[in-house]
Each structure stands twice: as structure tokens, then as C-alpha cells.
Amino acid sequence: MSGELAVVGGGGGFIGGHLVKSLLDQGYKVRSVDIKPIDEWYQVHEGVENVQADLKLIDSSMEYMSDADRIYQLAADMGGMGFIELNKALCMLSVLTTTHALMAAKEGGKCKRFFFSSSACVYNADKQKCEDVIPLKEVDAYPAAAEDGYGWEKLFTERMCRHFREDFGIQTRCARFHNVYGTFGTWDGGREKAPAALTRKIIAAKLSGNHDMEVWGDGKQTRSFMYIDDCVKGINMITDSDNVLEPINLGSNELTTINGLVDILEDIAGIKMNRNYNLDAPKGVNGRNSDNDLINEYLGWEPGIKLRDGMERTYNWIYEQMTTKSGVGAS
């Protein structure tokens, strides 16, 4: 890997920032590209070529990706369920980013590995109607009935990656992320996902003494949540694998309800909340969990960080951000 250039599209984002650090630690030259101004990036690492550019534009992709030995394409407009349900067209425009990244890889002729971050939102909604969900296998994406907007963009792009591999020999790898959370992630502003949003609400309650809390949906919807360290490890293993050719699940299979997630956070915070359920708020599918048979078969590994442990790390980090940002002392 000495001297190899790894380019991370979306390197200023949550997962991208962690991945950039991992690639640096492995000895790659790293170029991190993101549309946001660099002072708004989640993490900025020394020793990295940090570039602000819009990778939806083909000229930007050609300039910053065509010389890469490895491309990790994480850049996308996305957020929690509240964001993706209300911004379907914006989410679908992300198809331009990966299209142009693949074209840059083809034109440059150097790319040995191309990683695309897909999502469990590609899965057929009919298989996610019940809270007592059967874990989703990779084959369950078809017949297709993906999450409208965001999920369809991811599913289409998976197929494009497949055909660029078959037609042009680009070694594409796709992982379907299942609810990634952790430190250095979004925790306010409208794009945050459930673990961070609930954490913020409970910390705010702890600091203010007002223990009333809104929960989107009835709290019975089920999910699995993968801590960021497992996500980055999985990206590295999947990208380097010679036998993971088709899209594969990358997620924890530790199932919980949203109420169960609140229970964990209450225990960490040492408080009890008065839960008010907003049945009109976006809540996504009723049940979703990751079947990890295939990743175990191919890699002999699956995400294993326990939800309680990951949430405690996340809670402590968000607590520090909130108290530092507001000037409120610990309580």
C-alpha cells in the first residue's frame, strides 16, 4: 500500500471522517473530498489532502478521483428518517456523485478497489411491516420495493457498480449499512438519526430538569444499530475481499425497540423520562434487522460491539458537545 492514494468522497462527514483516520493509520496517502466548507467537517486530520468540492459535478470527480488507487464513495445527501422522507428528490440526486466517481475510476485506469456505501433502505418494504421482523437477507432487496427516494437511489447505484465491474473491470464493492451511530456524528439540526436524536433529548432533560420527551412513532418499532468502529472495520474488510462481489449487509444483528433504546439511555443518564409518542412523525418501517450469515461466511466476522457499550461512548461524546457548546456545567 506504500504510496497508494485513497480518495474518500464524503470524507468530511460522520463515517467518512472515521474512515479517513483508518486509512491514514494503514499507511495510505489520503485525499478527503466533501462539499461542505472544511471548517464544517466532522473531523479534519493532519497529513490528509483536504478538498472542498461538489462531487456531483463531473469535472470535480475527474479532477479529484481519476488518479486514485482506491475510491471510497460515501458522499450523499442523507440524514435520519425525518430528512429522507421529506427530501426524496435531493436524496436521489446523489446518483450523480457515484456515477461520476465510477466514470473517473474508469477514465483514470488506476483504481484497484471502488467502495460504495449503500443502505438497508434498499430492502423490500413488504418484509419490514412487522416489529417482530425476520432479519433481512441480501436477496430480500428483490423484487424491489425500496424506501422511496433514498432507497431507490441506493439500489440503482448498486446495479451500476455491478455493471461497471462486469463491463469495465473496476473492482466495485457495496455494503448495505444498517443504522450507523457513534462519536463525531450528527446530533442536532434535523439530519441526525434515532440514537443521536434520543441521546440529545435525554441529555437536554438531564441538564434542564424537564423530563418530558417526544418519541417518534409508538416506540415499538424495531431496529439494529451498528457502532462506527464496527462500520469502519467492515468497510476495510469488504473492500479488500476478493469474494464479496455482490452487495452485502454491514450491520449489527442485536435487535432492539426504540423504547428499548430509550431504556438504555435512561440507564446511562441515571434519569427516567416522561415519554410522549408522536404518531404522526416520520418513523420509517416497523421492523428492520440485519441477517449476518453472508458476512460471516465470507469474512468470518460480523459487527459485535454491544449497543449498551456503543451508546455509552456516544452519550459521553454528545454530552461533552452539548455542555461545551452551551456553556452548561455537568450535572
Q: Are residues 239 and 94 in the same domain?
A: yes
The number of distinct structural domains making up the chain is 2
Q: Are residues 243 and 284 in the same domain?
A: no
Burial 287-315 (b: 16+ CB within 10 A, else e): bbbbbbebbeebbeebbebebeebbebbb
Q: Which of 236-245, 275-284, 320-329 shows the lowest per-residue confidence on average (mean pLDDT)?
A: 320-329
Q: How far apart are CA 1 and CA 113, in angstroms?
A: 12
pLDDT surpassing 50 at residue 198: yes
Q: Are residues 118 and 211 in the same domain?
A: no
Q: Are residues 75 and 41 in the same domain?
A: yes
Q: How far apart are CA 262 and CA 214, in angstroms?
A: 11
Q: Are residues 121 and 49 in the same domain?
A: yes
For residue 76, what pLDDT is reported? 87
218-230: average pLDDT: 94
The verdict on residue 144 lying in a domain is yes
Q: Percent of the chain having pLDDT more than 70? A: 95
The verdict on residue 88 lying in a domain is yes
Q: Are residues 98 and 197 in the same domain?
A: no
150 in catalytic set = yes
Q: Backbone phi, then psi, for 87, in 5-degree steps?
A: -140, 50
Q: Which domain holds residue 210?
A: 182-224+254-289+306-326
For residue 331, what pLDDT is reported? 28
pLDDT surpassing 80 at residue 48: yes
Q: Are residues 105 and 154 in the same domain?
A: yes
Query: Considering 123, 150, 227, 319, which one is annotated as catalytic?
Result: 150
Q: Are residues 14 and 32 in the same domain?
A: yes
Tell me the CATH number at 174: 3.40.50.720
For residue 309, what pLDDT is reported? 98
Note whether 132 and 89 are within 8 A (CB): no
| Best CA proximity match to 24, nearest among 64, 85, 70, 86 | 70
Q: Are residues 125 and 193 in the same domain?
A: no
Q: How far apart are CA 46 and CA 319, in angstroms?
A: 26
Q: Are residues 61 and 95 in the same domain?
A: yes
Note whether 121 and 160 are within 8 A (CB): no
The verdict on residue 129 lying in a domain is yes
Q: Are residues 158 and 190 in the same domain?
A: no
Kindly indicate the confidence band of residue 327, based on its pLDDT and cuts at 50, 70 and 90: very low
Q: How far apart are CA 290 and CA 308, in angstroms?
A: 18
pLDDT surpassing 70 at residue 211: yes
Tell me the CATH number at 258: 3.90.25.10
The verdict on residue 331 lying in a domain is no
